[in-house]
Amino acid sequence: MYVAVKGGEAAIDNAHALLAHERRGDPSIPEITPDQIREQLALAVDRVMAEGSLHDRDIAALAIKQARGDLIEAIFLVRAFRTTLPRFGASEPLDTSAMSVRRRISATYKDLPGGQVLGPTFDYTHRLIDFTLAGGAAPPAPATATQGEAAPHVTTLLDDEGLIERNPSAAPDAPVGDLTREPLAFPASRDLRLQNLARGDEGFLLALGYSTQRGYGRTHPFVGEIRFGTVQVGFHAEDLGFCVDLGTISVTECEMVTQFKGSAEAAPHFTRGYGLVFGQSERKAMSMALIDRALRTAEFGEDVVAPAQDEEFVLSHSDNVQATGFVEHLKLPHYVDFQAELGLVRQLRSEFAARQADLDAMRKEAAE
Amino acid sequence: MNAPLTSGYNFAYLDEQTKRMIRRAILKAIAIPGYQVPFASREMPMPYGWGTGGVQVTAAVLGADDTLKVIDQGSDDTTNAVSIRKFFEKTAGVATTTVTSEATVIQTRHRIPETPLKEDQILVYQVPIPEPLRFLEPRETETRTMHALEEYGLMHVKLYEDIARHGHIATTYAYPVKVAGRYLMDPSPTPRFDNPKMHQSPALQLFGAGREKRIYAVPPYTDVVSLDFEDHPFEVNKFDKPCALCGAEGVYLDEVILDDRGGRMFVCSDTDHCETRRADGNRGEMSPDSSENRP
């Protein structure tokens, strides 16, 4: 018998060609375009932008097409593209209170300045399969309204009474942490934790946020506010000496208001958890806000007891590109390591058998 | 990896600024043998866990005159080795080889070539978990402190417990080593068979862990000692038979299942070593008769 130890290269090329063929699907069905994905699978595009950490709807849509709809694969494609892009610097902080709001709701106040704006949402829909969508009929025109009064953040209303912790004051000259340029070290500062969570896997964050609600690091959260819309991005150009507008991006922001019983030093007050993600993803922004608060446990002198409160655990496992890479690397050959283990198990088994034989012999002798 | 990647990318994919950052980490790693240097690992166009650390280190040290060899499990022809070799052919246009002695840079996963390395060679290891203490202590904050204090008792206790339970140390790969008498180091998941090759090697050995964002190094001619006890000295994996194709002894072998009736053969894990030996006329008990049949 002859054993093939070579022959991988042609097989790999063929596998890639087959993938391209499968991606296209049945050629009698029209090919999907990135434009269609961008417009009609907008929430998938939003997720890929958010976790791909790159605000570019066209790149995200193309990545979804290339990945055959596998969103983590699409996120991976976007990340690998993003990493090659030049950096000009950090933008000015976003002013989300000046957001052009498409949706803005508060669960803590029935009505508030700026009002409750429901916007495009699945909330309150009945989750019944809509068979008319299969036919592709045009939807009725939506109701429209002009942008109403300014919508200040709910937490600033609480701030006036001193009921909620103050946000640290802005430090415009402080360096902006970036875990894609400096390796994450522990303990991590809050800006890096938030960056990690903003890029983190939606499902992982959802499960961890959920766990805090079920008693694993409970924070008694309220949705102070969720808002989704577009905000201006400003950039301070050193050459010009003033701030220029780069354009607008769409973001979802969530501010959780959570309880704090107070301590010997601090009176009881509310605390904050913060979430901000690209595009529209309230699930992700809310989960992020829950975990942000949970990760501040030690800051409030509370005991770290639950997974969601454990910075190393959360931040080291939130990135789905890292996670999927390492889990799936188990598909790579491991035969030299397995060979080493095979040798060990065989040796242990033969030693075990020898011991059993000795024991049997001793028992036999004892019986005689 | 179908689409051409070359246009619009720098030599060896990474931009020069990133390469400088990686080189600084490598220099620090060489200066403190065995110490894990954090570095700002980039997202690469291959998945984490598939060699992104090794690829970044290789990209940072590769020059236009280099000849690159890439192996995975000792073989030049496994899927990932092919993929990484093609990546550098495409993005750096460097010469590649499968012959160990012709390579100036060798990127490897899980093996050290059987052919002894030389002074002008760099061996780049792909590392999944750089922290040798990780499976004893999951927290990075703890393990960094343990390294700082040279507090490695936990690992000795683990090895001792192996002996107490099994009669010998039951770690067959990623067997911990002490480098230059100071840092405990994970040799990456190479079988412990390869550990002695690291000791006083004339070649520079660089280790890249992309997902974990760590680089470490063993400079040429550095002591690399596998942990053991006086009454239980370190031993390498042993094989009962020589390679069935080239007859080599004292090399690491892969077990190949021949049929469903327990038939198996053992062949060199290092394919280049095996092919070179066969080209030189060496034969094992199951080698095909004529050398024309060699793959």
Cβ–Cβ < 8 Å for A330, B68: no
Residue B11 lies in a domain: no
Chain B contact probe: residue of A78, A339, A349 with most B CBs at under 10 A: A339
Q: Tell me the β-bridge partners of B125.
A: B108, B207
CB contact residues (below 8 A), chain B span 187-216, against chain A = 189-193, 211, 213-214
Whether residues A348 and B170 touch (CB distance < 8 A) is answered with yes
Whether residues B2 and A20 touch (CB distance < 8 A) is answered with yes
Question: Of the residues B53, B246, B247, B284, which is catalytic?
Answer: B246
**Nearest CB neighbour to B1, from listed A16, A185, A327:** A16
Render the burial of B169-181: b for 16+ CB within 10 Å, e for the rest: bbbbbbbbbbbbe
Strand ranges (DSSP E) for A238-317? Answer: 242-260, 269-278
C-alpha A274/C-alpha A289 separation (Å) is: 4
C-alpha A205/C-alpha A317 separation (Å) is: 10
Give residue B274's domain range: 253-293
Q: With a cut of 80, say whether residue A190 has pLDDT above it.
A: yes
Whether residues A80 and B15 touch (CB distance < 8 A) is answered with no
Q: Tell me the β-bridge partners of B179.
A: B183, B224
For chain A, say whether B19 makes contact (Cβ under 8 Å): no
Q: Same domain, yes or no, for B25 and B100?
A: yes
Partners of residue A183 in chain B, C-beta under 8 Å: 38-41, 213-214
CB contact residues (below 8 A), chain B span 20-59, against chain A = 38-45, 47-50, 52
pLDDT confidence bin for B5, thresholds 50/70/90: very low
Q: Same domain, yes or no, for B209 and B269?
A: no
Partners of residue B166 in chain A, C-beta under 8 Å: 348, 351
Mean pLDDT for chain B overall: 92
Q: Same domain, yes or no, for B33 and B79?
A: yes
Q: Same domain, yes or no, for B259 and B221?
A: no
- pLDDT at residue B95, rounded to an integer: 97
CATH number, domain of B158, equals: 3.40.50.11310
Q: Same domain, yes or no, for B265 and B211?
A: no
Active site residue B8: no
Report the 10 Å Cβ neighbour count for A277.
30
Q: How far is B289 from chain A (nearest CA, A)?
A: 10
Q: With a cut of 50, say whether residue A145 has pLDDT above it.
A: yes
Average pLDDT, stretch A249-255?
97
Q: With a cut of 90, say whether residue A157 has pLDDT above it.
A: no
Count of structural domains, chain B: 2
Residue B117 lies in a domain: yes
Active site residue B34: yes
Q: Record the tokens describing residue B116, joined without a space.
A: 């002894």
Q: How far is A10 from chain B (nearest CA, A)?
A: 10
- pLDDT at residue A301, rounded to an integer: 86
Assign A118 to helix, strand or coil. coil
Q: Same domain, yes or no, for B174 and B133?
A: yes
For chain B, say whether A327 makes contact (Cβ under 8 Å): yes
Residue B101 lies in a domain: yes
* pLDDT single digits (tens) B133-183: 998 998 999 999 999 999 999 999 999 999 998 888 989 999 999 999 999
Q: With a cut of 70, say whether residue B28 has pLDDT above it.
A: yes
Whether residues B191 and A335 touch (CB distance < 8 A) is answered with no
A79-93, A155-169, B214-228: segment of lowest average pLDDT? A155-169
Q: Same domain, yes or no, for B148 and B48?
A: yes
Cβ–Cβ < 8 Å for B210, B125: no
Q: Same domain, yes or no, for B194 and B266?
A: no
Interface size A-B, in CB pairs within 8 Å, comes to 156
Angle between helices A42-52 and A202-213 in degrees, nearest 10: 90
Residue B203 lies in a domain: yes
Q: Same domain, yes or no, for B276 and B184?
A: no
For chain A, say whether B278 makes contact (Cβ under 8 Å): no
Assign A151 to helix, strand or coil. coil
Render the burial of A176-205: b for 16+ CB within 10 Å, e for the rest: ebebbeeebeeebeeebbbbbbbbbbbebb
Q: Same domain, yes or no, for B62 and B174?
A: yes
Active site residue B274: yes
- pLDDT at residue B289, rounded to an integer: 56
Residue B245 lies in a domain: no
Question: Of the residues B53, B243, B247, B284, which is catalytic?
Answer: B243
For chain A, say whether B270 makes contact (Cβ under 8 Å): no
For chain B, say whether A213 makes contact (Cβ under 8 Å): no
For chain A, say whether B145 makes contact (Cβ under 8 Å): no
Q: Same domain, yes or no, for B78 and B205?
A: yes
- pLDDT at residue A221, rounded to an integer: 92
Q: With a cut of 60, say whether residue A7 has pLDDT above it.
A: no
Q: With a cut of 80, say whether residue A2 has pLDDT above it.
A: no
- pTM summary value: 0.86
pLDDT confidence bin for B125, thresholds 50/70/90: very high
Active site residue B262: no
In this structure, what DSSP letter does residue A110 have? Answer: S
Partners of residue A348 in chain B, C-beta under 8 Å: 166, 170
Q: Same domain, yes or no, for B270 and B214?
A: no
Residue B236 lies in a domain: no
For chain B, say whether A2 makes contact (Cβ under 8 Å): yes
* pLDDT single digits (tens) A40-88: 999 999 999 999 999 999 999 999 999 999 999 999 999 999 998 888 8
Average pLDDT, stretch B230-237?
92
Q: With a cut of 60, say whether residue B3 has pLDDT above it.
A: no
Q: How far is A103 from chain B (nearest CA, A)?
A: 34
What ipTM describes this predicted complex?
0.76
